[in-house]
Every structure is written in C-alpha cells, then in structure tokens.
Chains A and B, each alone.
Chain A
Amino acid sequence: MGEESISFEKAMERLDKIVTELEHGDVPLEQAIELFQEGMKLSKLCGEKLEQVEQKIEVLIESEGEWKKKDFQPPVE
C-alpha cells in the first residue's frame, strides 16, 4: 500500500491494529520489526497530515455553465 495515498482514517486504523498486535499478539520477531517499522511510518504520516495547518477553503462559483473553485474568505463581523 502506498503510504502517500492512504487516508488519514485508514492510517490511524492500521496503526491501531499494529499496536494491538504488538501489545497482545505473539508475533515472530521478524514480523514484529516489520510491524514496528510500518507503525513508525504510519505515525509519521499521520503526524504530518495533522500538521498541515493551512486550511484550504474554497468556494464553488458557476460561470458560463462551468463550476470553478476560488479561495474563500469567511465573512468577518
């Protein structure tokens, strides 16, 4: 599975599963190391996804029968 394309939700789910397996399962050592490496990767990936602080807010504008996206600034009171 390509880590770049995996969704945050899937990544968290997988990470949770890895943790459970490492904590409770009797995993062969080689597999345990693999699981660990995968877990660290997923953890990093999720962390990065969470750190992407800049939020992309776009608004759909219809012009000449086509829908276009433009950046949107929420109204400020």
Chain B
Amino acid sequence: MTGMEKNKRILTVKDLTRYIKQMLEADDLLQNVWVQGEISNFTHHSSGHMYFTLKDNSSRVKCIMFSSYNQRLAFMPKEGTKVLACGNVSVYERDGQYQFYVTKMQPDGIGSLYLAYEQLKKKLEQEGLFDTARKRDIPRFPKAVGVVTSPTGAAVRDIMTTLQRRFPSVPVLLYPVSVQGKHAAPSIVKAIEQMNVLQEVDVMIVGRGGGSLEELWAFNEEIVARSIYASDIPIISAVGHETDFTIADFVADLRAATPTAAAELAVPHQDELKQQLQQLHRRVQLGLQQQVRRKKDHLHSLMRSPYFLYPRQQLLQSAESLDRMKDRLVHQMKQQTGKQKEKLLRMEHKLTTNSPHEQLRDAKKKVETANHQLKQAMHAILRNHQQRFLGMTKQLDALSPLKVMQRGYSLVYTEQQTLLKSVKHAQPGDIVKIRLSDGSLDCQVWSIKENEGGSSWEKNQ
C-alpha cells in the first residue's frame, strides 16, 4: 500500500462491472434509445424471451427482448430482418457484457415513420399541445359546420349524409384538400387557416377515411398538428382508423373514430331537438298555467280571510273586546280605590293608637319633677351660701380693728389722713386725729418723746 496514492482503489471485477452498469443506467439517452439494425443469431427461447444480435456493416450489439414486451410485437422477427428497436442499454453482470434491452420493435422502412411519429408525439406532448385543459368546447348547436377533407371519396360523403340526416338546417362549408401525398399536409394547414380567416363556421371536421400509416401520414405531420392547435375554431379530428391515433387526433379538441362519428359529434340530432323543443313549448304553457293557478289560489286564500267573509263579525268582536276592556278598567278602578280607602283607615287607626297624649303627660310630669328638683337644689345652694356668709361675717367681725379698739387701742392719723406709725413723723404743733372705738379726737402734739432702744408701747404712753 505504501507509495500508492490514497484516492486510488483496487476494485473487484464485480465492483467494476457494477460501476459500469450504474454509469450506463444513469445516462438518459441510453435509457430510451432507438437503434436501427439487422437481426442475426435470433433465438426465441422456451421461456418466451427473445435473444438476438443487431448488426450493421461495422458493428454489432447483443439484444434481449423479454416475453412481456415481445408478446405485443406486430411482426415476427427473423434472421436478416431490418428493424428499429427501442429500449435501454445495460450490463449483463455475469458476462460483463453490455446488452440492449428491447421494449419496442418495428420493421424498418415503415418503422422509420413510426419512429418519427413517436418522437413528434413525445415532443408535442411535452410542449402541452395535447393538454385536455386547453381543448375548446364543441358548440351544442353550431351555426355552420366546416369540413376539411378530400372532395372525393367516402369520407366526405359520410360526413355530408350524416349532417343531413341529423341536422339538415345547419349550413356546411367544405374546404377541399388533398389528404395524402406530399401536398396533403400543407393543403390541410392552409384550409384550417383559411377557415379561421373566413370565420363562417363555428366547428370544423378535419379528416379522411381509413388507410395505412403512410396514407394517413399527413395527419401525423407537425405543421398539421400546430395549425390545429392554433385554430380558434374548435376542431373534430376524423381520421378513419379505429385503433391507432394520429397526432392530429391528440391535438384536436375532440377525436372521432370515423368521419361519420365526427359528423354525429358536430351536430345534434334534429328529431331529438324537435322533441326537446316540443317539451319546452308544452312546459312554457304549463308553467304559465301553474303561475296563474298559484296566484288564483293565493287570491282565494286571501278572500277566505274572515275579514272578507264576516266583516261585521270582526267589528262586533272589536266592540266586544272594547266593552270587556271598559269593564276591566272600571273594575280595576274600583279595586284600586277600595284598596286605598282601606289603607287610609288602617293608617288612621294607627295614628289614634299612637297619639302623643301619654307622652305629653309623661313629659309634663318629667318637667314638674325637674322643676321641683331644680328649686330644691337652688334652695340648698342658697342655704349653704347663707351659712357660709354668716360664718364669714363673724370671722370678719372678729378680725375688725374696731374690736381691738374696743379693748382700748386707738389709731392716730395725720392731717393728711395717713396713719401715724412713728413719732418721727410728727412735729410738735401738728394737728392729729385720734380714732377711738366709738369716735374720734382732734388733738395737737405738745411734745415728743422718743423711746430709747426701740419702740415700747408703754414708754410711748
């Protein structure tokens, strides 16, 4: 391993074969490819599978066609048959050999047309030319039918007679074209275009009678398909071939198996329409009758209303109900006044039972008692004060200086009526007033003797 690059791998034969197989199978082209060649080494195995080789001048390839596919083959392959085979390429692992797995096969020649058909079909389908969503509706009652086909032959006759039989009143406009050969496709294209320019018809039948693939080929041409697709007028294709579809069939708005069928699809049947019309006609008449009957019924039911039938009774009823109401009113009034009266009586009674006489008497008594108490209290206070007053007068009396004077003391006043308390405040000759308990003496100071060592009442005497 050393010395080798890391990304290099050694494969087994099996791995290699499988890898190659995967490579081949991943290739889109190889999974659906047409191959042209000559058959050799053909074996139809008892299992039903076909084994053969396709070869040309320079190369060969091994082929297998499984029984599930070869059962549908329209021809029997033989040694030397030139064919077109469709299928996918893969590897048969056991032998390490690549093989062509055939699913479809056509003899060459006509086969090349078939291949072209398949390829065009696939292409247009992918482009959306076959989408059912874009298909136009065929008018139920066309004003005029356009026919694009050969003016000779069975097809045009079938179409015309069928149109005539079903709906003879519809105009038909035939655009004669050639329907086979080199000029067929361009002439069909031109006809479709011209019909769209003229705008006289609102549905078109494009077709021809049955034939081989080559004879029908114009209806597999791309230009025809595209002009059908481009047409504003809806197109019914009518290529007389029950089983196989042409490209035109796929693009057309409606496909008919035969020209006769196309004509049947293009117009309704006159007799059916007549029947339908008769029915509608009858129903219109019945409908009106029904409407009238409905209105009549309604009117009758309205007229049956008691207001119309017995108008007097309606009034009487009103009168009656008025009376009844009056009665009720009076009754109610009476009841109301009665109730009120009763209420009043009850209240009067309550009032009398709850009169304030008693309270008045009680209150008076209370007032008297209070008065009495007040007076007594006042007396007590008065007496109390009197006693205090007397006591105080006695006290006062006891303290009075007059009492002292009664015991022999007297008071000396100056002429200025001031009390003379010291000899120092008197001068000999001063007039003084001496107050005694029972009167006063006006005196004059003769002399003054001052006590030594302080005042002494006896010495001053």
Contacts of B170 in A (CB 8 A): 55
Which one of B151, B152, B280, B291 lies within 8 Å of A27 (CB-CB)? B291
A23 touching B287, Cβ below 8 Å:
yes
Q: Which residue of B lies closest to A13 (CB)?
A: B140
Contacts of A12 in B (CB 8 A): 141, 273, 276-277, 280
Within 2-55 of A, Cβ neighbours of B (below 8 Å) are at 7-9, 12, 15-16, 18-19, 21-23, 26-27, 29, 32-33, 35-36, 39-40, 43, 46-47, 49-55
A50 touching B273, Cβ below 8 Å:
yes
Report the minimal beta-carbon distance from A46 to chain B, rounded to whole angstroms. 5
Chain B 208-238 per-residue mask, 1 if CB under 8 angstroms from chain A, else 0:
0000000000000000000000000000000
B288 touching A57, Cβ below 8 Å:
no
State whether A43 and B168 are in contact (beta carbons under 8 Å apart), knowing that A22-B287, A60-B176 are contacts in the complex. no
Q: Which residue of B lies closest to A39 (CB)?
A: B284
Q: Which residue of B lies closest to A15 (CB)?
A: B280
Q: Which residue of A lies closest to B150 (CB)?
A: A75
B161 touching A74, Cβ below 8 Å:
yes
State whether A74 and B160 are in contact (beta carbons under 8 Å apart), knowing that A23-B290, A60-B176 are contacts in the complex. yes
For residue B274, CB closer than 8 A to chain A, the reply is yes
Q: Give bound CA distance, A50 to B270, whole Å.
A: 7
Q: Which residue of A lies closest to B270 (CB)?
A: A50
For residue B164, CB closer than 8 A to chain A, the reply is yes
Q: Give bound CA distance, A71 to B331, whole Å.
A: 103
Contacts of A43 in B (CB 8 A): 277, 280-281, 284
B283 touching A59, Cβ below 8 Å:
no
Q: Which residue of A lies closest to B284 (CB)?
A: A39
A75 touching B287, Cβ below 8 Å:
no
Contacts of A36 in B (CB 8 A): 284-285, 287-288
Q: Give bound CA distance, A69 to B294, whole Å.
A: 55
Q: Give bound CA distance, A19 to B290, whole Å.
A: 11
Contacts of B140 in A (CB 8 A): 9
Report the minimal beta-carbon distance from B193 to chain A, rounded to whole angstroms. 12
For residue B344, CB closer than 8 A to chain A, the reply is no
Report the minimal beta-carbon distance from B362 to chain A, rounded to whole angstroms. 91
Contacts of A26 in B (CB 8 A): 294
Most buried by A among B154, B161, B173: B173
For residue B156, CB closer than 8 A to chain A, the reply is yes
A32 touching B291, Cβ below 8 Å:
yes
Q: Give bound CA distance, A8 to B288, whole Å.
A: 23
B290 touching A22, Cβ below 8 Å:
yes
B273 touching A18, Cβ below 8 Å:
no
A22 touching B163, Cβ below 8 Å:
no
For residue B312, CB closer than 8 A to chain A, the reply is no
Contacts of A60 in B (CB 8 A): 173-176, 194
Report the minimal beta-carbon distance from A61 to chain B, rounded to whole angstroms. 8
Report the minimal beta-carbon distance from B11 to chain A, rounded to whole angstroms. 72
Q: Which residue of B lies closest to A69 (CB)?
A: B173
State whether A57 and B172 are in contact (beta carbons under 8 Å apart), knowing that A16-B280, A36-B288 are contacts in the complex. yes
Which one of B161, B169, B173, B176 lies within 8 Å of A49 (CB-CB)? B169
For residue B10, CB closer than 8 A to chain A, the reply is no
Report the minimal beta-carbon distance from B195 to chain A, rounded to whole angstroms. 9
Report the minimal beta-carbon distance from A62 to chain B, rounded to whole angstroms. 9
Report the minimal beta-carbon distance from A73 to chain B, rounded to whole angstroms. 9
A19 touching B283, Cβ below 8 Å:
yes
Q: Give bound CA distance, A13 to B130, whole Å.
A: 31
Chain B 281-324 per-residue mask, 1 if CB under 8 angstroms from chain A, else 0:
10111111011101100000000000000000000000000000
Most buried by B among A36, A67, A77: A36
A residues apposed to B, CB below 8 Å:
7-9, 12, 15-16, 18-19, 21-23, 26-27, 29, 32-33, 35-36, 39-40, 43, 46-47, 49-60, 67, 69, 72, 74-77
Listed A/B pairs (5) with beta-carbon separation below 8 Å: A12-B273, A39-B281, A43-B280, A55-B170, A57-B160
Q: A39-B284, A40-B284, A69-B173 are in contact. List 13 more A-B contacts (CB 8 A).
A: A7-B143, A8-B143, A12-B141, A15-B280, A18-B287, A19-B280, A22-B283, A22-B290, A36-B284, A47-B274, A54-B168, A60-B194, A67-B194
